[in-house]
Structure 1
Amino acid sequence: MSMIDSGVAATARTELAAAGALFRSLGDPIRLAIVRLLADGERRVVDLTTELGLAQSTASSHLACLRGCGLVVGRPEGRQMFYALARPELLDLLRAAETLLAATGEAVALCPNYGAAASDVTAAEGRVCDE
């Protein structure tokens, strides 16, 4: 590979690193569930714990991950924090993902690396935010 080719490859990797981080941040079913709820409007941590059946610490950890990625913002009101989606474009991405999932059928769910069986391993390991 020439120096020009390696420079182009390095630039592509750098540009794709942000996209990879975005998809990893959305790669957890709990974080996706939180994003879906926030698509309907602001929620407090207590709302998320009630609606998703999560421990407060779990909801807070996932919100911290989403906030750290710039996908969720918090708005303080008194002693409470109301969370919302930071960017409406996230809804477009989720709609596109749903369309793609409908088109691929069960192929993604059966994927040996990232499908349902692989997700069970990740959950058993207790990962919250892959950074």
Structure 2
Amino acid sequence: MSAVPATILFDGVCNLCNGFVQFVIRHDARGQFRFAPLQSEAARALLDAHGQPLTPALTDPDSVVLLDQGRIYTHSAAVLRIAAGLSGGWRWLALGRVLPAFLRDALYRWVARNRYRWFGRQETCLLPTPELQARFLA
């Protein structure tokens, strides 16, 4: 097990993505995940450190990104891996890995393409409360 906490990079101006982060926080009983908006310098530095520079595709992100134990997970693989680390019955969602990745990712991309229209968009990235500040990277 890596000493570095798993880090979730998310679209900081997407209401769906911010809701997902809040959901993870509520169900991450062990506090194992930390967070950074993809638009932040912290995300850029983490991706560079993992050999994945912030590309134009990630500048207008269509995926949540999970950095865990030196590996990068995107799209449905990231969401399912995050679900596996949650408390309660949510970890059962990880069983979705039995579905072929092309099907899971097609559904993921369809939601990602429509997320601003369905859920809206913020002008600025999520600002964590003082209690959660330690779990967010600057």
Same-fold call, TM > 0.5?
no
Superposition TM-score, scaled by structure 1 size: 0.30
Of structures 1 and 2, the larger Rg is shown by: 1
Superposition TM-score, scaled by structure 2 size: 0.29
- Structure scoring higher RCO (CA < 8 A, sep ≥ 6) equals 2
